[in-house]
């Protein structure tokens, strides 16, 4: 790429099980105000705005329309919306900044998972003719994937418990986490299965949340932020949805995206992976070439808070934050969408020393 | 593209044209802080707008000042009268409506507010409805008041002389 | 850094109709996509990335349906992107796809927009009972009809202007084999006598509800230069959004639309759109939006858009033809409606618009809008390489 683009600010609302007082726009406004303040920008300074959300969580058509008022789009702004996780909204903004017409972008996303029956809502994503009529829920699909991982000899239930335990322990240092506790993997393993072979601790919480990022390009980023988190590579790939058409024990789309984003070009200090279910972290580590990496999901990851449509951009924000505050130099962020890791985005972020 | 061949075993069978997949999901909506204030007012027979920090008064407010992107916080009790700034006459029974046809759907700018709300105009023959007409709210009986806009049954002419309507924002008078 | 050039090298669309019961959702998008690929003389494997757009997912009852459509769209192992910007989405989807080429990220991008409204209840999708929202007493037309009345009052436009627009668009549609509505017997009187749904909007002045899809292949300069057919060079793209609930906005002549047009003309070097643009496809779901958008997009002075209609300026043989394809009034697969506007003007400058071709169209404008007249997307395409 010719134009360098960086994350210069990140903000999120504390993740909660259910936000029952504020509506979506009310929930978003403080987050957007916070991210702008961190970047030292007003909406008038922002060249492009892009958001991610889905009507199916809100239970109403055109739900993103009324949240737009929260960014103060007046005079009229250059703006777009994706029916995808906010990580892809960031991708669109990154493309826009490549064109050189604008130098700053606001990216935001929100998701209230609590208002509807989340696992049934997600089943509405599936093939509408053959699969959705069976109403398979999200946990059962993840359990199928976990079962295949075990049968292939690639992981054990104990491995899942290690991921579950470490994630919640990491979350103890994350003030925005929803689930944080310190329980040994062996104790988790002693619990009964929720959907065999998954235990409740292998599954993410149901979360309402929102987050926002400001991107800036080139010298503008340097002027606004002492240590911007430069996006050195970003790519996303998709696979067929049908579970029978792919090997669920690997993530080929993650592997391709990681290669194109340049994950393996240099050592990685930190990785934030959008693995809603514990076994998926193992699959992603393998596909990213981070199988034995020490510092994965220091925030606790989606097992500590899983706001649908938000958890992916949060991964980018968590990595960027660590680069901006100088605790990391090179990080990998990952976002996913669709059943059993169908679609994946990988970004490599770096600080300049 | 190659033509798709129907296998011999299916020849002569009736084609499956469609599958019916009923889906029912229940959502618990959160009205939000500003809407809660408005609806609480309605259930007490009051119309509460909100003054945005930018100065404009919105009714009902969804909570955001679109000029500044900050919450609207200052409730403003509005009179139950306003001006019809535009309207249409509806001649079809739309989904779920038990209205007598034709009826008028109007954009009503309440006195002291800056953005019109949409509501029914009744007690006025459709041919007499006009832009600039002054109207007042007709409420349900006190014991029927509930936290929704249907507590205002409709608006009707209040007998005041018509006024000249200024288009919000554009400064255009016609 | 100058942007890379991008051109439309392939266009495809389905036959639009009320119910395309002969195809699944996947079949519908493939029908448009395979036609675009054939036009581009490409195969699925030539495509680097796929960008999908559609309006609310409740229209089909499938959440984020592009996930299920990934393999039908040949996206396996490739990037697949989904845009949703309300009614303007077909246009903004094409713009996102174009930017992937302009940024030098991809060489050949397939973009597809669709709606299969027959698969769910569109009225249900649009009017879910949200307990605390003001009751919508009159459906979508009931939202826009008062704004049309405001326009009529402001501009002193006579009542028959809407009828003239509807007649022109439906007659144009007769020349477009893909159009949903083919009404050979349509006449001024038949429109005038059609039911007054939302006075001042008559039934025959409203858009239909259609199943349909549109697709385009967007390509880099190197690829476009090798095309054996004429291509449509993208000379400018723009999007604007404005608030839903704002006292400052004018829903009749929205500033977002005006700003969007000014931006895209500036990029394309257009200083006098009325003279320099050969034809326009604009998003007109109710007939009166044609004169409103003529003013909003700077083709006509304020208050005079309706005179262009009355004088026949916007007819297929006028000097600023509008909605040569028959427009949204003749085919309305909502999510695809914006892309159909963008695609039609690409066909026009390529000289491939068939019976509804404007002779020697060199520069053309595509426009889409959505929400409560608050989301806008536009592009300018030209026959001549920039």
Count CB-CB contacts under 10 A for residue A63: 18
* Mean pLDDT on A81-91: 98
Residues in C closer than 8 angstroms to A62, CB to CB, are 56, 86, 371
Q: Is C380 helix (H, G, I), strand (E, B) or coil?
A: strand
- Both tokens assigned to A246: 């792919």
The pLDDT score that the predictor gives to residue B170 is: 35
Question: ipTM value of the model?
Answer: 0.97
How far apart CA A113 and CA C266 sit, in angstroms, is: 43
Alpha-carbon span C249 to C277, nearest angstrom = 28
- Residue C274, domain member (yes or no): no
Q: What is the mean pLDDT of residues A201-218?
A: 98
Q: What is the pLDDT of residue C143?
A: 84
Chain B: residue nearest C195 by CA? B91
Average pLDDT of C57-69?
94
Least confident of A40-54, B99-113, B158-172: B158-172
Which pLDDT does position C152 carry in this prediction? 94
Q: What are phi and psi of C118, to 5 degrees?
A: -70, -15
Instruction: Over range A131-155, report the average pLDDT.
Output: 96
Residue A75, preceding bond cis, omega within 30 degrees?
yes
Across the range B89-112, mean pLDDT stands at 81
Find the residue in C nearest to B32 (Cα).
C132
Model confidence pLDDT, tens digit, residues C20-62: 999 999 999 999 999 999 999 999 999 999 999 999 898 898 9
Tell me what the pLDDT averaged over chain C comes to.
Answer: 94
Q: Which of B1, B29, B90 sits opposite C131 (nearest CB)?
A: B29
Q: Average pLDDT, stretch A25-42?
A: 97
Nearest by CB to C154, from B1, B99, B174: name it.
B174
Between CA A105 and CA A214 the distance in angstroms is: 6
In whole numbers, what is the pLDDT of chain A averaged over residues? 96
The dihedrals phi and psi of C28, each to the nearest 5 degrees, come to -65, -50
* pLDDT band, residue B174 (cuts 50/70/90): very low
Q: Is pLDDT of B94 > 70? A: no
Q: Mutate which of C20, C62, C143, C199 to disrupt the B interface (most B C-beta within 10 Å)? A: C199
B64/A29 CB distance under 8 A:
yes
Please tell me the distance in Å from C295's CA to the nearest CA on chain A. Answer: 18
CB contact under 8 A, C137 and B99: yes
Query: Residues A164, A199: contact at Cβ < 8 Å?
Result: yes
* Structural tokens at position A353: 């020393």
Query: What pLDDT was estimated at residue A61?
Result: 85
Q: Which domains does chain B have, with CATH numbers?
A: 28-78 (no CATH), 79-168 (2.40.50)
Examine residue C103 and state whether it is found in any structural domain, yes or no.
yes
pLDDT at residue A223 above 50?
yes
Q: What is the pLDDT of residue C124?
A: 58
User: Comparing B116-120, B140-144, C355-359, which segment has the lowest mean pLDDT?
Assistant: B116-120
Query: Is the pLDDT score of A1 beyond 80?
Result: no
Q: Specify the DSSP class assigned to residue A335.
A: E
- pLDDT computed for residue B171 by the predictor: 32
- What mean pLDDT do residues C302-313 have? 97
pLDDT digits (tens, 9 = 90+) for C182-215: 999 999 999 999 999 999 999 999 999 999 999 9
What pLDDT was estimated at residue B17? 82
* Total number of domains in chain C: 1
User: Is C270 within the bounds of a domain?
Assistant: no
DSSP string, A184-212: -HHHHHTSPEEETTEEGGGSPPPBEEEEE
Cα A204 to Cα B48: distance, rounded to the nearest angstrom: 41
Contacts of B1 in chain C (CB under 8 A): 34
Between residues C163 and C117, the one the model is more confident about? C163
Q: Is the pLDDT of residue A204 over 80?
A: yes
Domains and CATH numbers, chain A: 5-116+206-229 (3.40.47.10), 118-202+230-350 (3.40.47.10)
Report the pLDDT averaged over residues A125-140: 94
**CA–CA gap between residue B33 and residue B40 (Å, rounded):** 11
- Integer-rounded Cα Rg, in Å, for chain B is 24
Quick one: pLDDT at residue C125?
A: 59
- Whether B31 has a pLDDT exceeding 80, the answer reads yes
Structural domain that includes position C45: 6-121+209-225
Residue C244 has pLDDT above 90, yes or no: no
Of B28, B34, B66, the CB nearest to A115: B28
How far from C374 is each of A140, C86, C90, C92, C245, CA to CA, in Å? 41, 10, 15, 13, 10
Residue contact C125–A126, C-beta within 8 A: no
Domain containing residue C217: CATH number: 3.40.47.10
Q: What is the arithmetic mean of pLDDT over A302-308?
A: 98
Does C72 lie at the interface with B, CB-CB under 8 angstroms?
no
pLDDT of residue C92: 98
Q: What is the pLDDT of residue B96?
A: 56
Between A58 and C134, the higher pLDDT residue: A58
Q: Is the dihedral of CA A43, A46, A47, A48 positive or negative?
A: negative
Task: For chain C, say whether A231 makes contact (Cβ under 8 Å).
Answer: no
Is the pLDDT higher at A204 or at B150?
A204
Mean pLDDT of A269-280: 98
pLDDT tens digits, residue range A226-251?
999 999 999 999 999 999 999 999 99
Distance from CA of C63 to the nearest CA of A (A): 5
Please state the rounded mean pLDDT for residues A315-324.
98
Among chain C residues, CA nearest to B59? C245
Residue C319, domain member (yes or no) = no
Q: What is the pLDDT of residue B169?
A: 37
Cα–Cα distance, A295 to A318 (Å, whole number) = 13
Q: Which of A73, A82, A239 sits opposite C242 (nearest CB)?
A: A73
**CB-based contacts of A26: which residues, under 8 Å, 6+ apart?**
A70, B32, B33, B34, B63, B64, B71
Note whether residue C341 is domain-resident.
no
Residue C61 in any domain: the answer is yes
Q: Which of B3, B55, B62, B6 is nearest to B32 (CA)?
A: B62
Tokens 């832009």, residue?
B131
């Amino acid at each position: 790429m010719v134009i360098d683009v960086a994350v210069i600010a990140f903000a999120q609302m504390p993740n909660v099980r259910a936000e029952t007082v504020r509506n979506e726009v009310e929930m978003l406004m403080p987050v957007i105000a916070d991210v702008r303040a961190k970047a030292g920008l007003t909406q008038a300074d922002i060249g492009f705005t892009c958001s991610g959300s889905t009507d199916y969580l809100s239970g109403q058509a055109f739900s993103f329309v009324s949240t737009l008022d929260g960014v103060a789009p007046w005079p009229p702004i250059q703006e777009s919306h994706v029916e995808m996780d906010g990580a892809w909204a960031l991708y669109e903004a990154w493309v826009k900044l490549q064109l050189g017409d604008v130098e700053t972008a606001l990216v935001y996303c929100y998701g209230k998972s609590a208002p509807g029956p989340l696992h049934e809502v997600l089943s509405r994503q599936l093939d509408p003719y053959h699969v959705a009529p069976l109403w398979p829920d999200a946990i059962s699909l993840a359990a199928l994937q976990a079962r295949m991982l075990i049968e292939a000899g690639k992981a054990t239930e104990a491995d899942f418990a290690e991921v579950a335990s470490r994630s919640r322990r990491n979350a103890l240092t994350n003030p925005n986490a929803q689930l944080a506790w310190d329980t040994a993997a062996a104790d988790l393993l002693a619990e009964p299965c929720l959907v065999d072979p998954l235990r409740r601790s292998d599954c993410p919480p149901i979360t309402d949340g929102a987050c926002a990022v400001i991107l800036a390009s080139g010298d503008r980023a340097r002027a606004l932020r002492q240590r911007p988190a430069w996006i050195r590579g970003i790519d996303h790939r998709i696979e067929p949805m049908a579970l029978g058409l792919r090997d669920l024990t690997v993530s080929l789309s993650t592997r391709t995206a990681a290669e194109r984003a340049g994950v393996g070009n240099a050592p990685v200090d930190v990785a934030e992976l959008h693995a809603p279910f514990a076994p998926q972290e193992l699959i992603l580590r393998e596909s990213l070439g981070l199988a034995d990496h020490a510092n994965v999901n220091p925030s606790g990851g989606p097992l500590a808070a899983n706001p649908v449509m938000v958890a992916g951009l949060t991964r980018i924000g968590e990595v960027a934050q660590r680069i901006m505050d100088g605790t990391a130099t090179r990080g990998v962020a990952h976002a996913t969408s669709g059943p059993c890791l169908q679609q994946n985005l990988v970004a490599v972020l770096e600080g300049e020393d | 593209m190659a033509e798709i061949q129907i296998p011999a075993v299916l020849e002569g069978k009736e084609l499956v044209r469609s599958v019916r997949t009923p889906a029912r999901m229940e959502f618990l909506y959160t009205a939000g802080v500003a809407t809660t204030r408005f609806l609480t007012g309605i259930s007490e027979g009051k119309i509460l707008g909100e003054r945005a920090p930018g100065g404009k008064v919105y009714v009902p407010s969804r909570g955001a000042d679109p000029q500044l992107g900050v919450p609207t916080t200052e409730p403003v009790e509005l009179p139950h009268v306003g001006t019809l700034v535009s309207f249409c006459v509806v001649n079809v029974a739309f989904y779920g409506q038990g209205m007598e046809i034709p009826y008028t759907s109007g954009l009503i700018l309440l006195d002291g507010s800056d953005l019109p709300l949409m509501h029914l105009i009744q007690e006025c023959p459709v041919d007499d409805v006009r832009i600039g007409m002054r109207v007042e709210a007709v409420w349900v009986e006190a014991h029927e008041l509930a936290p929704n806009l249907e507590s205002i049954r409709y608006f009707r002419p209040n007998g005041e002389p018509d006024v000249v309507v200024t288009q919000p924002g554009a400064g255009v008078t016609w | 850094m100058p942007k890379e050039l991008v051109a439309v090298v392939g266009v495809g669309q389905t036959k639009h109709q009320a119910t395309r019961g002969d195809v699944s959702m996947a079949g519908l998008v493939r029908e448009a996509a395979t036609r675009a690929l054939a036009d581009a003389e490409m195969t699925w494997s030539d495509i680097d990335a796929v960008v999908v757009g559609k309006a609310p997912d409740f229209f089909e009852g499938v959440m984020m349906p592009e996930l299920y459509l990934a393999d039908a769209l040949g996206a396996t192992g490739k990037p697949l992107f989904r845009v949703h910007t309300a009614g303007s989405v077909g246009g903004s989807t094409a713009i996102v796809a174009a930017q992937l080429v302009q940024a030098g990220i991809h060489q050949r991008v397939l973009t597809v927009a669709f709606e299969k409204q027959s698969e769910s209840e569109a009225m249900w999708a649009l009017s879910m009972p949200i307990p605390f929202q003001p009751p919508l007493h009159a459906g979508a037309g009931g939202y826009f009809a008062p704004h049309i009345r405001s326009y009529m009052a402001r501009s002193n436009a006579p009542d028959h202007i809407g009828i003239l627009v509807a007649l022109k668009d439906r007659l144009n549609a007769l020349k477009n084999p893909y159009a949903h509505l083919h009404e050979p017997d349509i006449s001024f009187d038949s429109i005038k006598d059609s039911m007054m749904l939302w006075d001042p909007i008559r039934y025959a002045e409203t858009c239909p509800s259609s199943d349909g899809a549109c697709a385009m292949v967007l390509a880099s300069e190197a690829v476009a230069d090798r095309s054996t057919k004429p291509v449509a060079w993208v000379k400018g793209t723009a999007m604007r959004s404005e608030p839903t609930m704002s006292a400052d906005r004018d829903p009749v002549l929205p500033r977002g639309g005006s700003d969007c047009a000014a931006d895209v003309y500036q990029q394309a070097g257009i200083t006098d759109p009325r003279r320099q643009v050969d034809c326009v496809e604009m998003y007109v779901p109710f007939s009166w939006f044609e004169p409103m958008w003529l003013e909003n997009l700077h083709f006509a002075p304020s208050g005079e858009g309706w005179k262009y209609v009355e004088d026949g300026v916007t007819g297929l043989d006028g000097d600023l033809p509008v909605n040569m394809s028959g427009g949204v009034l003749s085919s309305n697969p909502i999510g695809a409606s914006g892309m159909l506007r963008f695609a039609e003007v690409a066909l026009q400058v390529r000289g491939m618009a068939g019976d509804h071709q404007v002779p020697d169209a060199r520069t053309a404008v595509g426009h889409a809008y959505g929400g409560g007249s608050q989301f806008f997307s536009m592009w300018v395409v030209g026959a001549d390489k920039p």
